[in-house]
Structure 1
Amino acid sequence: MIRDTEILDSLLDTVRRFVRERLVPNEQLVAETDKIPADIISDMKAIGLFGLTVPEEYGGLGLTMEEEALVMIEMGKTSPAFRSIFGTTVGIGSQGILMDGTEEQKARYLPLLATGELIASFALTEPGSGSDAASLRTTAVRDGDHYVINGTKRFITNAPYAGLFTLMARTDPGSKGAAGISALIVEAGTPGLSLGQPDKKMGQKGAHTCDVIFDNCRVPAENIIGGREGLGFKTAMKVLDKGRIHIGAFCVGVTERMLDDALHYAMEREQFGQPIAEFQLVQAMLADSKAEAYAARCMALDAARRRDAGENVTTEAACVKMFASEICGRVADRAVQIFGGAGYMAEYGIERFYRDVRLFRIYEGSTQIQQIIIGRNMVRDAS
């Protein structure tokens, strides 16, 4: 749902200019240094990117899902690391507090997240549980007015500079499934919380992940999201539904950027006395990519509108995430093929995108998990 077309158009124009004038020229710098410059992060805060989804009463922009999807498509026109620095905060890092937090928790944390003063991380994945989130082993045992947390979380985005963690932990050791899981807010610097070394990844330089280790980490009982135990898994699933539309829309933007780069290269690169864009087999790759990008855009915006209308979009969100991330990978492969030998060289940039987008088919639920969700829901609805 778009609330005010004029205001949204102004925001999208601001984001487009920011991407074109500030982010694209710094893509190579981030790739080489594995760091986003501090002045760029400051600019992100100034234009409100950290508060996109935080309600206006807490200092954010309070975007609807459709508005957020349109912004993410524009953000996808540059290196994924730039979105990552604020995307976890506006997405899965803060949405648990927003959706299920108490009024006190919202008032305390959301204004700080909206300004970027706090960066949030979502701590669900563990060394022994990723897709099987219900089998997580990190424990939070009640001890008076505190919970004592023990366990390790793995591949946690933005953990090296997070100010708070939305943590999923087992508060009922007698329950081995989803019912015993709770969500807690853990502030960085809490005694007993430590970080592993930053992970060395295939791509996405500038977007950092690492282990988060809890060793008798004591967290106030008032930090349990919603004030009650056992709600954490439901919170996580609601957060991921929204996050999958967010990621799907972002994949659309990255796909459109790669396709645009491939098209322009094909129009400039000559072989056999003419631009390679004139060859039908090259046009076929461009055409397939265009059709898939268009389909993914339509899916993302449709799912966003359905969520804004109050529909249950678990199936649609899984469809968007699965399809958009898969076609993003296919278009990346075609783009390298169109660039030919140049596509394998770092100086042209397309090989960086080829590596960066591979992650989209894995995180926030792999393609295979999305297939399971979609198929399971189809059978359930039909019966």
Structure 2
Amino acid sequence: MRAGLPTDAGQRASHGLAWVATTVAALEAVLVWCEAGGGANPIDAKVAQLAFAEGLAQLCGGLPMGQNEIVRPVDMGAGAAARQLGEVCAGLIDADHAGLRAEVAGALAQGQWPSETLHDGMLDAIRDQYRRFTDAEIVPQAHTWHLANALIPDATVAAMAALGTFGVCIPEAFGGLGLNKLVMCLVTEELSRGWIGAGSLGTRSEIAGELILHGGTAAQKAQWLPRMASGEVLPTAVFTEPDTGSDLGSLQTRARRDGDGWRIDGAKTWITHAARSDLMTLLVRTLPDAIGYAGLSMLLVPKPRGSDGDPFPAEGMEGSEIEVLGYRGMREYALQFDGMRAPADALLGGEEGQGFKQLMRTFEGARIQTAARAVGVARRALELGLDYALTRRQFGQPIIGFARVADKLVAGLVDFVMARELTYAAARAKDSGRRCDIEAGMAKLLAARTAWSNADASLQVHGGNGYALEYEISRVLCDARILNIFEGAAEIQAQVIAKGLLAGRN
């Protein structure tokens, strides 16, 4: 990349750098995973070989940043370096991998999957527990819930709470399990494999819990964390406003001290699970004379839980549902505040002007969690495509016997493993206590693309049936599409990664 290239002025090149770095990091994660298995599962080495062959070919020739955007080495002033890399790796890149892909497809057809063990009995047991729960409680009902645009049933929420879903990372001192982000990835991945709505519900408490744990007063922690960990209180994040998107410094919703509390006025949009929630983490402007982020504060605003008949019973608050293609089960809302009251102790940490900083501390965890959701969606898409390819017969044989069908499944499997291992690597970086905004952005960037490409390929395997609402893949495709947008769009992730790399962070 050209030295000193400004990130904004050279956006295509800088974002290309982000995709190059993400691809390299994913290949490194796959290598660590493959070597850790020690050859016990023969399919692992085959998947790794295919990952490196395709990854290196893309690094030399062009990386897909989107459906119709290919960034090439020449765009980054790296044409000569790419040609040199291609010469060094020509044996791997130019090899005929058709036989290898056919072997992997055959293994999938026999029910053999790449290794997923984390070489830790507790972690593997947690995955197994949530996989069994998801297969029993989520998978059989998810599509029905989706088609009805129904909220996740209260009984299912209670069952999730009984497993400890809402308190995975909340310390034991506050009633949680006190586990790490890697565990939360496993939980989120498995629940999202069943339905992204189920996986996302757990992240509501994760985001709010991290905000309060790191930014709240002792009283706020004692008041809210135990109730969130148990599932008694379901929180919702209320940040986004109309016309602001990722530009949080332009937020206009205001809160001012009024008597013995706060008065809130303004509008928010794309608020997930707003009606059934009990607590809003609300980003507002409390210092109107301060410019940009400096005037923002975070309020903890309790509200009565709504019902189907009266979704927003709180005085001074109204809401309207935003109808969406997918990502259902919690529902999206536009909210209007007109004199809504919040208690005097609602200010997170008791200090104004800290809201943006408090929120920024949660971005790494939130993006890693979104990557885990994407990994779960990517796997479900692959499962559905594989099942259909094994049972659908054309011209006298299951369609998995046709190379173009099998190749889609194998490519999806390779991408899934790369996204999964990169997400786990980001979670481990977060658990180590070091800054990992680049790693989190990479995981989210790659996993979201993988979820969409796997869902799209799986629907293609289904043919016309995939376009029918009765088939589950139609839902998975809609669910996958949002992953490239929320918690920072793909372009925002690339910007974060590029700025970090250009600033010398690693």
TM-score by length of 1: 0.94
- CA drift of 1:88 comes to 1.1
- CA drift of 1:205 comes to 2.9
Moved more, 79-88 or 22-31: 79-88
Rounded to whole Å, the distance in 2 between the matches of 1:191 and 1:178 is: 28
3-state SS in 1 of match to 2:321 = coil
Moved more, 76-85 or 60-69: 76-85
Q: 1:56 to 1:382 in 2, by over 3 A?
A: closer
Q: Which residue is equivalent to 2:269? A: 154
Matched to 2:197, the amino acid is: A
Matched to 2:424, the amino acid is: L
Residue deviations 1:307-353 (CA, integer Å, cap 9, x gap) = 11111011111111111111111111100001111111122210111
Alignment of 1:164-313 (within 5 A): 164-189=279-304, 192-313=315-436
- CA drift of 1:267 comes to 1.9
Q: Which residue is equivalent to 1:375? A: 498
1:358 paired with 2:481, answer yes
Residue deviations 1:27-61 (CA, integer Å, cap 9, x gap) = 13212332222221221122221222221111111
1:99 paired with 2:214, answer yes
Moved more, 177-186 or 78-87: 78-87
Rounded to whole Å, the distance in 2 between the matches of 1:284 and 1:276 is: 11
Q: Which residue is equivalent to 1:72? A: 188
1:324 paired with 2:447, answer yes
Alignment of 1:24-39 (within 5 A): 24-35=139-150, 36-39=152-155
Matched to 2:160, the amino acid is: M
Q: 1:195 to 1:13 in 2, by over 3 A?
A: farther
Q: 1:83 to 1:380 in 2, by over 3 A?
A: same
Q: 1:195 to 1:85 in 2, by over 3 A?
A: farther
Rounded to whole Å, the distance in 1 between the matches of 2:369 and 2:157 is: 20
Q: Which residue is equivalent to 1:88? A: 204
Rounded to whole Å, the distance in 1 between the matches of 2:450 and 2:316 is: 39
Moved more, 366-375 or 212-221: 212-221
Rounded to whole Å, the distance in 1 between the matches of 2:209 and 2:317 is: 21
Residue deviations 1:239-265 (CA, integer Å, cap 9, x gap) = 122110011011111101110111121
Moved more, 299-308 or 47-56: 47-56
Q: Which residue is equivalent to 1:335? A: 458
Matched to 1:40, the amino acid is: T
Q: Which residue is equivalent to 1:138? A: 253
Q: Which residue is equivalent to 1:18? A: 133
3-state SS in 2 of match to 1:196 = strand
- CA drift of 1:191 comes to 5.8
3-state SS in 1 of match to 2:170 = coil
Task: Check conservation: 2:143, 2:475, Cα contact below 8 A.
Answer: no
- CA drift of 1:370 comes to 0.8
Matched to 2:222, the amino acid is: A
Rounded to whole Å, the distance in 1 between the matches of 2:299 and 2:435 is: 25
Rounded to whole Å, the distance in 2 between the matches of 1:97 and 1:126 is: 22
Task: Check conservation: 2:215, 2:349, Cα contact below 8 A.
Answer: yes
Rounded to whole Å, the distance in 2 between the matches of 1:38 and 1:223 is: 27
- CA drift of 1:145 comes to 4.4
- CA drift of 1:192 comes to 4.5
Rounded to whole Å, the distance in 1 between the matches of 2:440 and 2:182 is: 13
Where structure 2 has 5 or more consecutive residues not aligned to the other structure, the ranges are 1-116, 305-312
- CA drift of 1:4 comes to 11
TM-score by length of 2: 0.72
Rounded to whole Å, the distance in 2 between the matches of 1:12 and 1:293 is: 17
Rounded to whole Å, the distance in 2 between the matches of 1:346 and 1:50 is: 31
Task: Check conservation: 2:189, 2:199, Cα contact below 8 A.
Answer: no
Task: Check conservation: 2:265, 2:339, Cα contact below 8 A.
Answer: yes
Rounded to whole Å, the distance in 2 between the matches of 1:15 and 1:30 is: 20
Matched to 1:188, the amino acid is: K
- What is the RMSD of the two structures over their aligned residues, measured on CA atoms? 2.1
3-state SS in 2 of match to 1:346 = coil
Task: Check conservation: 2:253, 2:264, Cα contact below 8 A.
Answer: yes
Rounded to whole Å, the distance in 2 between the matches of 1:295 and 1:77 is: 17
- CA drift of 1:131 comes to 0.9
- CA drift of 1:75 comes to 1.4
Matched to 1:158, the amino acid is: H
Q: Which residue is equivalent to 2:169? A: 53
- Identity, in percent, stands at 36
Rounded to whole Å, the distance in 1 between the matches of 2:469 and 2:426 is: 36
- CA drift of 1:355 comes to 0.8
1:62 paired with 2:178, answer yes
Task: Check conservation: 1:195, 1:210, Cα contact below 8 A.
Answer: no
- CA drift of 1:209 comes to 1.6
Rounded to whole Å, the distance in 2 between the matches of 1:193 and 1:248 is: 36
Task: Check conservation: 2:415, 2:450, Cα contact below 8 A.
Answer: yes
Moved more, 68-77 or 296-305: 68-77
Q: Number of aligned residue pairs: give it.
A: 381
